[in-house]
Amino acid sequence: MDYLVFAGNSNKKLAQSIVSKLGMRLGDADVRKFSDGEIFVRINESVRGRDVFLIQSTCAPAEEHLIEMMIMVDALKRASANTVTAIMPYFGYARQDRTSEPRVPITAKLVANLLTKSGIDRVVTMNLHAGQIQGFFDIPVDNLYSSPVFDVYFRENGMHGEDYVVVSPDAGGVARARAYSKLLGTTLAIVDKRRERANVAEAMHVIGDVNNKKVILIDDMIDTAGTLTQAAKACIEHGATEVYASAAHGVLSGPAIERILDSPLKKVIITDSIPFDKAVSKIEVLSVASLLAEAITRIYQKESISSLFATGQV
């Protein structure tokens, strides 16, 4: 295989899993800090004329991981790599995709500009918070979906059919929930919530029938878990017997874990797009290594990867 896979420090465990699936090793690079905090990168093997895949989630600390990634790209380009494809399991700043109030930036667009200017030739990411972010780039962007991974998990655990109902925790996720309900053969419901300010949400009532049903709450990410836990509480109050939740990205910041443990949620299923090494009884982590490894193989072999996101919105 005439390509190399490198990784920054944001999610080394996932990167190691990906290269194991590919039957290769991670490229040799030093990525560290000077004593004053500046990031230093040195590529320790030749990349001249080779296609390179760089794995880096821009999760917290987002700024550090973003700068680290751009410095690595610069190093690879100056070492004459043929192409650099950024594998970004989690794309940070994706929620800042529009001017929702006066005098605020569109940071997702700024990040897209920074990545493009750094020399990246292609971006592969997963479950973008807003699909239109693909249009912020002037280079190819592949937005994969975690649905194949969750579909296998749900079916292996019997979480499908008429005993279950897929619920969107807010109006913005209806398309995603509808796709999952079709995939799993369930009915669909929506939790109507009112958001007062960022990271603070109040669940109001449930649109749809969850009475005597097992609920699967579907979201793209879980940050402080306020929306999710209030949605779970609303479903229980409307007669649901059990409530599960799944999300591609487990940001889990601030009081998230405490809220999940204190909530009616029976289990929360996330992926390893963001590293999560804590042992929390209610949280289960699924790996997307096989999905991303398959994407890398197809891109290198110049094959279509459309089948990896053919279901769309999930």
Classify residue 314: in a domain, yes or no.
no
Same domain, 192 and 230: yes
Average pLDDT over residues 265-287: 96
Does 119 appear as a known binding residue? no
Nearest to 7 by CA among 74, 81, 69: 69
Segments forming the whole domain that contains residue 127: 3-145+290-309
Same domain, 73 and 158: no
Q: Is the pLDDT of residue 67 over 80?
A: yes
Same domain, 235 and 154: yes
pLDDT given at position 200: 59
How far apart, in whole angstroms, are the C-alpha atoms of residue 270 and residue 251? 10
Q: Is the pLDDT of residue 249 over 90?
A: yes
Band (197; pLDDT cuts 50, 70, 90): low
**Sequence-distant (≥ 6) Cβ neighbours of residue 271 within 8 angstroms:** 89, 126, 146, 149, 248, 249, 250, 285, 286, 287, 288
Q: Greatest CA span in the chain, whole angstroms?
A: 62
**Total tally of structural domains belonging to the chain:** 2
Choice among 86-100, 117-131, 148-162, 200-214 with the minimum mean pLDDT: 200-214
Same domain, 182 and 141: no
Average pLDDT over residues 260-277: 97
Classify residue 257: in a domain, yes or no.
yes
| Annotation says 109 is catalytic | no
Does 97 appear as a known binding residue? no
| CATH number of the CATH domain containing 12 | 3.40.50.2020
Classify residue 174: in a domain, yes or no.
yes
Which position has the higher pLDDT, 131 or 51?
A: 51
pLDDT given at position 140: 96
Does 295 appear as a known binding residue? no
Contact 144, 168 (CB under 8 A): no
**Sequence-distant (≥ 6) Cβ neighbours of residue 92 within 8 angstroms:** 57, 58, 59, 60, 62, 65, 66, 111
pLDDT given at position 303: 92
Query: What's the whole-number average pLDDT of the chain?
Result: 94
Same domain, 115 and 152: no
Same domain, 7 and 140: yes
Classify residue 198: in a domain, yes or no.
yes
Does 131 appear as a known binding residue? no
- Is 183 strand, coil or helix? helix
Band (196; pLDDT cuts 50, 70, 90): low
Classify residue 40: in a domain, yes or no.
yes
Same domain, 27 and 13: yes
Does 223 appear as a known binding residue? yes
Same domain, 141 and 158: no
Same domain, 140 and 164: no
CB atoms near residue 274 (< 10 Å)? 24
Q: Is the pLDDT of residue 201 over 90?
A: no
Q: Is the pLDDT of residue 12 over 80?
A: yes
Catalytic member of 193, 278, 282, 302:
193
Q: Is the pLDDT of residue 312 over 70?
A: no
- Is 74 strand, coil or helix? helix
Contact 289, 260 (CB under 8 A): no
Classify residue 59: in a domain, yes or no.
yes
Question: Per-residue pLDDT tens for 74-93?
Answer: 999 999 999 999 999 999 99
Does 85 appear as a known binding residue? no
Does 219 appear as a known binding residue? yes
DSSP of 17-62: HHHHHHTS----EEEEE-TTS-EEEEE-S--TT-EEEEE----SSH
pTM (global) more than 0.95: no
Same domain, 169 and 281: yes
Q: Is 14 left (phi over 0), alpha (psi -120 to 50) or beta?
A: alpha
Average pLDDT over residues 161-180: 94
Same domain, 276 and 202: yes
Average pLDDT over residues 2-13: 96
Does 129 appear as a known binding residue? yes
Q: Is the pLDDT of residue 160 over 70?
A: yes
Q: Is the pLDDT of residue 198 over 80?
A: no
Does 195 appear as a known binding residue? yes
Residue showing tokens 């090494």: 277
Band (172; pLDDT cuts 50, 70, 90): confident
How far apart, in whole angstroms, are the C-alpha atoms of residue 179 and residue 251? 23
Same domain, 207 and 237: yes
